[in-house]
Structure 1
Amino acid sequence: MDNELIDQSRWVEGNWKWFLPTFLILFVLFIGLVFSASIDGNVTEMAQVYSDNALYEKAIEKAKTNKRVLEVIGQIKPIDKLAILEGNAIYSNNNNSVEMSVRIQGSIGNGKMDIYADKKGNEWEYKKINIRIKEPKEEIQILKDTI
């Protein structure tokens, strides 16, 4: 049996109409991912904050003892993972210092918590903790920078 009538061209030649646009879209998405990950390393820093719950959980515990926070925000709810991703974190000093801002929700109101901390061994030592509130516009200092 002779198979000379069967066209054995390359696969790409026969499927280029959908292969080329798909390849271009995937290439643009890959370049976008690489570009966004390289902007100040913010993606990797947020992943680090995401994995280090003790950093913000202990700061919340300190905030829960402040009378003004209880008056304006109420009982602070646990921070959800989406709030961490929406926040901002800047690590320095070989990832042993952090400045971060994260959204918090309370039983009465909402705000943003700013945390400045240094890592000593496995524990975070807080330098400054503030809570910013829009209504009424106020900044509550939980822990002041003593330096």
Structure 2
Amino acid sequence: MEETVHKQSWWKRNWKWALPTGGCLTIIVLIVAFAGTLFFGITSLMEDSDAYKQVLFNASKNQELIASIGEPITQEGIIGGSINNSNGFKTSELTIPLKGPNGAATVRVEGSGVGDTWTYTVMDAYIEGSDIIVDLLHTATHNPEETPELLIEE
């Protein structure tokens, strides 16, 4: 006597656990991918800003900051703040962590501008582990070929 055993497909036997697991895993992967894309998009937007470029230029030329944290000075960590652009008028409020071989600093920059002309009201480097604040607005060297036009608001 031969009996034919009809074996159900894998999906019919396992759908009750496979569907929720696969669906939840897909949703989690999509959320992580979206968050990563958003994070790197915003970070690159801030790194492309004129204020960011001006801070790195001024920091690399400021002798007091170089004496405090050493040279070369690089951006290390996550940039915080905001950049707004409304009808050509731009504002920027950023905190930029910098690192050198002898220490670290956080630069706070606030500025506004139209086109490539910026007016900075604050550009201070706070040396970590000390009470030293270095004013980067009055860095003597400025090369308009490398960075946007710098205007200092007194």
TM over 0.5: yes
Name the counterpart of 1:46: 43
Task: Give the residue type in structure 1 aligned to 2:54.
Answer: K
CA contact (8 A) 2:79 2:95 kept: yes
Name the counterpart of 2:113: 119
Name the counterpart of 2:59: 63
> Aligned partners of 1:32, 1:78: CA distance in 2, in Å?
28
Query: Normalized per residue, which structure has more helix?
Result: 1
Query: Normalized per residue, which structure has more strand?
Result: 2
* TM-score, with structure 1 as normaliser: 0.65
Name the counterpart of 1:136: 130
Secondary structure class of the residue paired with 1:137? coil
Greater Cα offset, 23-32 or 64-73:
23-32
Secondary structure class of the residue paired with 2:75? coil
How many residues end up aligned between the 2 structures?
133
Pair 26,71 (structure 1): closer, same or farther in 2 beyond 3 Å: same
Pair 24,96 (structure 1): closer, same or farther in 2 beyond 3 Å: same
> Aligned partners of 1:115, 1:96: CA distance in 2, in Å?
14
Query: 1:72 is matched with which residue: 57, 68, 92?
Result: 68
1:91 equivalent in alignment to 2:88: no
Name the structure, 1 or 2, with higher relative contact order (CA <8 Å, separation 6+). 2
Give 1:137 deviation, angstroms.
2.8
Give 1:138 deviation, angstroms.
2.2
Query: 1:146 is matched with which residue: 116, 139, 153?
Result: 153
Task: Give the residue type in structure 2 aligned to 1:46.
Answer: T
Pair 14,124 (structure 1): closer, same or farther in 2 beyond 3 Å: farther
Secondary structure class of the residue paired with 1:143? coil
Give 1:93 deviation, angstroms.
5.0
> Aligned partners of 1:116, 1:24: CA distance in 2, in Å?
43
* TM-score, with structure 2 as normaliser: 0.62
**What value does the CA root-mean-square deviation take over the aligned residues?**
3.5
Pair 25,146 (structure 1): closer, same or farther in 2 beyond 3 Å: same
Identical positions, percent? 16
Secondary structure class of the residue paired with 2:130? coil
> Aligned partners of 1:90, 1:42: CA distance in 2, in Å?
13
What are the Cα deviations for residues 9-56 of structure 1, in whole angstroms up to 9, with x where unaligned? 8x864552323212113324545777x69xxx9775434113x16432
CA contact (8 A) 1:130 1:142 kept: yes
Stretches of structure 2 lacking an aligned partner (at least 5 in a row): 139-151
CA contact (8 A) 1:90 1:100 kept: yes
Stretches of structure 1 lacking an aligned partner (at least 5 in a row): none
